[in-house]
Amino acid sequence: MTLKWLKWSQRLQAIAQNGLTYTQSPYDSERYQQIRQIAADIMATYAHETPTYVCDLFSKEEGYATPKIDVRGVVFHNNQILLVKEREDGCWTLPGGWVDVGESPSNAVVREVYEESGYHTQIVKLLAIYDRNHPRHQHPPLRHHVYKLFFQCQIIGGSPAESIETSEAAFFAEQNLPELSLTRVVPSQIARLFEHYQNPDWQADFD
């Protein structure tokens, strides 16, 4: 379940960021800075970080506050799904990552799949757009509000390879999944993606 303190902190930070973006009043600017500090204090208290560290992270966010975009490549072969092993936590996930500025989601996922697994792919269809912060997904807390886009991809070349971020790429049956990197993907999402694979006429999920 999404923690209330995290939602409060994210919402206050968004209000402060939007206010600082548009206000022309030095008095309002000071008030929005105070709101940002309160948001940092809340997150620092429950995330066991210093308020200065969190406030510095918040201050780097500029412009109107919007969710970040995370893309994940969903590659099936012989009723198995492609996963990569993260060096960061030693757990497995769908290949993917942040969409870069100026990059389309489809180009980003093709790039990420190749960089993290060694496989060249092409997009088949969009399977799901999930709100990472929605309680039903049960991801661990993250300071960002994130939308996760899951694209089914088809292999057109390449071979399994490790990368700076991943140490292994392999295919797994639904009944034999390894330990998942829950920051990136959760079991219920993998299960739903297998259902999409078995029902190719389904429309994309959302939220």
pLDDT tens digits for 31-71? 998 998 998 899 889 888 888 888 887 887 888 888 999 99
* Dihedral of alpha carbons 20, 26, 28, 30, sign: positive
3-state secondary structure of 119: strand
The dihedrals phi and psi of 191, each to the nearest 5 degrees, come to -60, -45
Measured distance CA(16)–CA(35) in Å, rounded: 6
Structure confidence at residue 1 (pLDDT): 40
Boundaries of every domain in the chain: 4-59, 68-206
Is the pLDDT at 201 greater than 70? The verdict is yes
pLDDT tens digits for 96-107? 999 998 999 999
Bridge partners, 97 (sequence order): 71
Neighbouring residues of 188: CB distance < 8 A, sequence distance ≥ 6: 136, 137, 138
Distances (CA, A) of 99 to 147, 148, 149, 183: 11, 10, 10, 17
Measured distance CA(74)–CA(203) in Å, rounded: 15
Structure confidence at residue 18 (pLDDT): 87
Distances (CA, A) of 59 to 21, 35, 37, 47, 82: 11, 12, 10, 18, 37
Q: What is the mean pLDDT of residues 194-206?
A: 97
Structure confidence at residue 35 (pLDDT): 92
**Percent over 70 (pLDDT), the chain:** 99
CATH number of 68-206: 3.90.79.10
The dihedrals phi and psi of 148, each to the nearest 5 degrees, come to -110, 125
pLDDT tens digits for 102-151? 999 999 999 999 999 999 999 999 999 999 988 888 898 887 889 999 99
